[in-house]
Amino acid sequence: MSTATTAIPDQKKIGMVSLGCPKALVDSERILTRLRADGYAFAEDYAGADVVLVNTCGFLDSAKEESLAAIGEAIAENGRVIVTGCMGEEADAIRAAHPSVLAVTGAHQYEQVVEAVHTHAPPSQGPFIDLIPQPSDTDIKLTPRHYSYLKISEGCNHSCAFCIIPQLRGKLASRRIDAVLREAEKLVAAGTKELLVISQDTSAYGVDIRHESRTWHGREVRAHMTDMARELGQLRTADGTPPWVRLHYVYPYPHVDQVIPLMAEGLLTPYLDIPFQHASPKVLKLMKRPANEAKVLERLKSWREICPDIAIRSSFVVGFPGETEEDFRYLLDWLEEAQLDRVGAFRFEPVEGATANALPDPVPEEVKEERYARIMEVTERISAAKLAAKVGRTLPVIIDEVGEADEDGDIGATGRSQADAPEIDGAVYLRNVPSTLAPGDIVEATIEDADAHDLFGVIAQK
């Protein structure tokens, strides 16, 4: 009898560089999940990869420069590079800068990316590869195990003057509600403690499919933000507790009012990420954005009456063409009244293809810088006061990282309150935590101190 053995071919390995927003990160996860199913393994560095994927961002010119630099680094370190993502829509510019790229595909073109990988790094064939059990039955995740992004739609129906997202990603295309809920249920069953709902316009979810209903666990559920939020609030983790469910990119349409009671009931995380962009009616009109700032202030007051702990985050553009000093002061006054919890600000930057580029009265760069410094000073002061008011309170905190013991044996941990989304908001730093604490644990923490962005405390004594 022959004792010869068949050598199992090495699995081809894929490297991935993922740039841009959380929506792009979800795209990267989907691409890697598909490639894993095709028998590929994943490299931890450039040297170990048979091919490197660079998922680019093309929203701003500075993001394009970052993407081109990342492509250049991957070429220098590995040499075999496939480009995808938003900047993939500008294939000529990419090839002009880096003619040796193997292939270029656009945003969310999963099949084309996989086909390019198959072409330039064909998967190992045969039953010894195809039948190897995969390391888990969950999708590839590029985020920590305890939180996950849940993308509910692609594209956008707005035509904001400063934005080219519809050109990059197309019109709104909503996922089926049962597919969204099935993915969420699967993520929570696999250990997710926090779901971050993302899209270009979460409030518009289902508009394109006429809010069609699907059967979910024996009942009809509409493809609508409020129905989806209510269903996500019914999920439970392995220990029987609701996961944190955080809503991002929520335009303040009237039906958003209906999700605030769900936050007050503890079914949703009391947090809304609303892209206001400005407050001056004139600038909002130039931006082609909704312009009813007075009504927004009334609604913010109403939301806080229903759910006092609600945290509102937003972002604003300074130096938009035509923005006068009066417009900017209007924005600062509005921010003083709105008292938003988390604020990001951006200097206006022309983006190729955006209609704002043709607007008259551009704001000089030095004025943009001066206004940026002023808005950050105001919002930092507001943030510091809001965080100082939390000193002495006990808040739920989700743990992101646990440190090593110091010379005295004390262990510190970094987490987030319900007012803090990962990567974009502040943190809660805990001292003297037990060695058994792990990422994903949710603890009650007594807040002892605060600065303009972060909280400091200790796990509450039971």
pLDDT at 290: 64
| Helix, coil or strand: residue 95 | helix
Cβ contact 421:433 at 8 Å: no
User: Tokens standing for 154?
Assistant: 């692609």
* pTM over the 0.85 mark: no
pLDDT at 292: 58
The span from the CA of 193 to the CA of 147, in Å, is 6
Cβ contact 243:192 at 8 Å: yes
Residue 212 has φ and ψ, to the nearest 5°, of -60, 150
Residue 40 DSSP class: -
* 307 assigned binding-site residue: no
* Number of helical (H) and strand (E) elements in the chain, helices listed first: 13, 20
pLDDT at 319: 95
pLDDT at 462: 73
Cα 351 → chain centroid: 21
Alpha carbon dihedral 159, 67, 425, 195, in 10-degree steps, equals 80
pLDDT in tens, the chain (462 residues): 444 444 445 678 899 998 877 777 878 888 887 787 677 888 888 988 999 999 998 877 888 889 999 999 999 999 999 999 888 888 899 999 999 999 999 876 777 888 899 899 887 654 333 333 333 444 566 678 899 989 999 888 877 777 777 777 788 899 999 999 999 999 999 899 999 999 989 999 999 999 999 999 999 999 999 999 999 999 999 889 999 999 999 998 899 999 999 999 999 999 999 989 999 999 999 998 865 555 889 999 999 999 999 999 999 999 999 999 999 999 999 999 999 999 999 898 887 777 888 888 999 999 999 999 999 999 999 999 999 999 999 999 999 999 998 888 899 999 999 999 998 899 999 999 999 999 999 999 999 999 999 999 999 987
Cβ contact 400:144 at 8 Å: yes
pLDDT at 35: 83
Domains detected in the chain: 13-130 (3.40.50.12160), 147-388 (3.80.30.20), 394-459 (2.40.50.140)
pLDDT at 326: 97
Helix residue ranges per DSSP H, 124-234: 127-130, 165-169, 177-189, 225-232
